[in-house]
Structure 1
C-alpha cells in the first residue's frame, strides 16, 4: 500500500481521508475503530479549514481580572462527522506492537508494509500537562456560568473550594440543544494537576449555585512538552500548542498538506521548516514562562493578553510559521505587563532570549 496511518483519532482520520482523496492506497490501523470519541474538540472558527463540520458556533468571552468580550467566534466540532472516512480507506482493527521503516508488526503476528507509515497515535512522554474534568449540564443549569449562545473560554475567578494554590479556570461551551460543557481546567502544570483536585473545584462551583454534579464526566490530559515522534502527525507529531493545549484544528488544516507530500513521496517532515521549528521552540519557552508565574499572576497575564489586538492574539495562538509575528507579540505582552509579572517572565528562558534577540 502507499500509506499506513497508525491511530484513528481526529488527526489520523483526517490524514487518511485526505490521502485517499488524492488517489493513494491507504490503510488505517486502530485497536477499536468503532469507538466513539468522547472528548470535546473545539477551536477558534477562523483556524478551521473550510467545510469543517461543527455543532455550535458561539460568541466568546473570558474572565481574568476583568471581563473580556472576544472578537473571535468559537466552534465546537462535530465528532460524528469528523470520524467518517472515505470508503477507499481500509480500516484494520489491530494493535501495532513494533515499527520499522516501511512496515509494522501487529499483535496478531501480521506484518504490514507501506511506502510510508505515519504515527498518529498521540503524544507520549513529557512532564508538563493540561488536565481537566468536565460535566454536561442543561442550559438552565449552566446559566450562572455562561449565557445562551456564548462560550466562556477562560474564567479565572477562583472556585469556592481548592486544596492547593494552583490556578485553574472554568471552561464553559455549548454543545448543542440544551447541552453545555462545564470543565475545570488546569492550563499547564508539571506534573499535571490531579483530576481529584479539579473534580473538587468543579463540584464547588456547581454547589455554590445549587447545581447537582452529574456522575458522568469528561477527563482530559494533554501532554504539552512531549517529544515529537519521527514520522508523527497530530499530537504526537508536535502539532499541539505547548502553551494552550490546542492542536486538532492545526491537524485538520495541515492534513491536506501532508497528504500532498505523501503523494509526492515525502511525509510529515515537510511541516517542519526552519521557521516552524523556531516558532515551536519559542512556544515551548512560552510554556516555561507560564509555569514560572505565581498563581496570582496568571489572571493578570491573561488580562493583558486579551487586551492585545486580535491579530496579535492570533500570532500567538494560531500561527505556527511566523517567527517575527510571535516574537513581536510576546514582546508587546511583556512590555505591557506589571513589573511583578515582568520579573517572573524575564526569569524564564523564553522571554530572556526573546528580549536579547530583539536587540
Structure 2
C-alpha cells in the first residue's frame, strides 16, 4: 500500500472517488468501492497510524458474509451478553469484540491510492478537495469520512450546544482476575453501584479481548459534559475492590493497560459543501444511546458502493449517496433516537438503572430494533413504544417530558 508523497499534484486522473479520512468508516467505503472497480483516492494525515480503539457490536451486525465480507479473524472474542440493572438478564444474540489490528488490516486495500495530507476544503469549481499544502485532488465524488472533525463541514453561524459525551475508563486484566468480578460473563451493562459514589450512575462494561485478557470499563452514558475521566477511574477502582480484587490487580497506573474514552454522541447537524457526502461519524452515524457507529459504517459502505458503481456522473452519484446516507428514513430514526437521548439527559439519576431494567425486560426483537435498524422507522418506533409499555408511571412521565421538551439541563452529576 502506497502512502503518496508531497510532489506536485493538481489532479487525481481518473479518480471516481476521494475519501477524506482513514478511519474504519473511510477505509470501509474506499475498500468497497475499489473492490467494484472504482478508482479511489483516500486522504489521511497519518496513513501509517495504528488504530487503538476497542470496538464491539452484535455478531449479527457484522459483514462476515456477502460481497465485502470481513474475515472471521476480525472477531477477537464473542459470547452471549448479560445486562444487570435490578436483576441479571441474558441478552438475545452474541456480542462480538473486534480485534482492532485485524480489522485495520482487513479494511486496507492496495487498490486504494493513499495520499498523505490534510483536507482543508473544496476547490472553487468542480468536485474535489484542497489539501493544506495547496494541492488539489479531483474526483467524481467527495466523501467526508473525517469523523468528529468533519473537516469539510460548513459552520451554520448558530451557536451549537455543548455536546453530550460518553466517557469511560477501562483496565485490561487477565481473564482469571476478571472472573472475580464478572463470574466469567460478558457484561454489556452492570449497573450495580458497587463503587459507592453518589451522583450520576455509571455501569461496568466487561468484555473479553481474546488472548486471555478482559477489559473492565467504568462507563458513563451521555452527559453534557461527560463525567470526568479521573472520577471514572476512581469509581472503577472502588468497584473492583468492592468486588474482591486487590489494589495490585488493578493496573490503573500502567498506560499500556488502561483505555480512556471520550466522544460526542449528539453530533450537531451541519452543512457540507455542495457535492460532498458525509459518512460515518461525520455523517451522524453515531447511535445517540449506545455511541456505536462502526458496524453501521461497514454495512452502509456496501450499500453505498453498490449504488455509486452504477452512476454515470457526479450529480447522480451525489443523489444516490444522499439517499443511502441521509435518506428520510435514516433522518427520522436518528431524530427519534435524539429524543431518546433527551429523555436520558433529563432523567433523575436514581431512575436510570430502573429505566434499563425495564428496557431489558422488553421483547428481545424490540431491544435489537432500538439498538440497530438505523433506517427502519416502523421497527424503531415499535421498539420505543414497547419500552414505554414496560415503564412505571413515574418513568413514563420522565419519558414524555424528555420527548416533548427536548434537550434540557442534565439531572444531577
Q: Which category of TM-score, normalised to the shorter sequence, fits these structures?
A: over 0.9
The separation in 2 between residues aligned to 1:61 and 1:255, in whole angstroms, is 30
Give the alignment partner of residue 117 of structure 1, picking from 142, 164, 175.
142
**Selected match of 1:313 from 334, 343, 367:** 367
In the other structure, the counterpart of 1:95 is 118
Question: Aligned residue pairs: how many?
Answer: 350
- 1:177 matched to 2:218? The reply is no
User: Is the alpha carbon distance of 1:172 and 1:350 closer, same or farther for their aligned partners in structure 2, counting shifts above 3 Å?
Assistant: farther
2:30/2:42 contact within 8 Å kept: yes
Would you say 1:77 and 2:112 are equivalent positions?
A: no
CA distance in 2, matches of 1:38, 1:324: 36
Equivalent of 1:144, from 170, 180, 183? 180
Paired position in structure 2 for 1:16: 30
Structure 1: gaps of 5 or more residues: 353-359
1:334 pairs, out of 371, 378, 388, with 388
Instruction: State the Cα deviation string for residues 277-316 of structure 1 (Å, max 9, x = none).
Output: 1111111101111111111111111111111111101111
In structure 2, the residue matched to 1:260 is 306
Compute the displacement of 1:194 (Å): 1.4
Q: Distance in 1 between matches of 2:196 and 2:209?
A: 27
Q: How does 1:20-39 map to 2 (within 5 A)?
A: 20-39=34-53
Which residue of structure 2 aligns with residue 355 of structure 1?
Answer: none
CA offset digits 1:2-29 (Å, max 9, x no partner): 1111111111110000010011111111
User: What secondary structure, in the 3-state scheme, does the structure 2 residue paired with 1:158 have?
Assistant: coil
SS in structure 1 of the partner of residue 299 of structure 2:
helix
TM-aligned CA deviation for residue 71 of structure 1: 1.8
The counterpart of 2:87, out of the listed 62, 66, 80, is: 66
Residues 24-68 of structure 1: CA deviation (Å, up to 9, x unaligned): 111111111111111101101111122432111112111111111
How high is the TM-score relative to the length of structure 1? 0.92
Query: How far has the Cα of 1:228 moved from its partner?
Result: 4.7
Question: Are residue 221 (structure 1) and residue 262 (structure 2) matched?
Answer: yes
Q: TM-score, normalised by structure 2?
A: 0.81
Give the equivalent residue in structure 1 for 2:322. Answer: 269
Indicate yes or no: 2:130 matched with 1:105.
yes
Equivalent residue, structure 2, for 1:356: none
> Secondary structure in 2 aligned to 1:266?
helix
* Distance in 2 between residues matched to 1:22 and 1:228, nearest whole Å: 31
What displacement does 1:213 show?
2.6
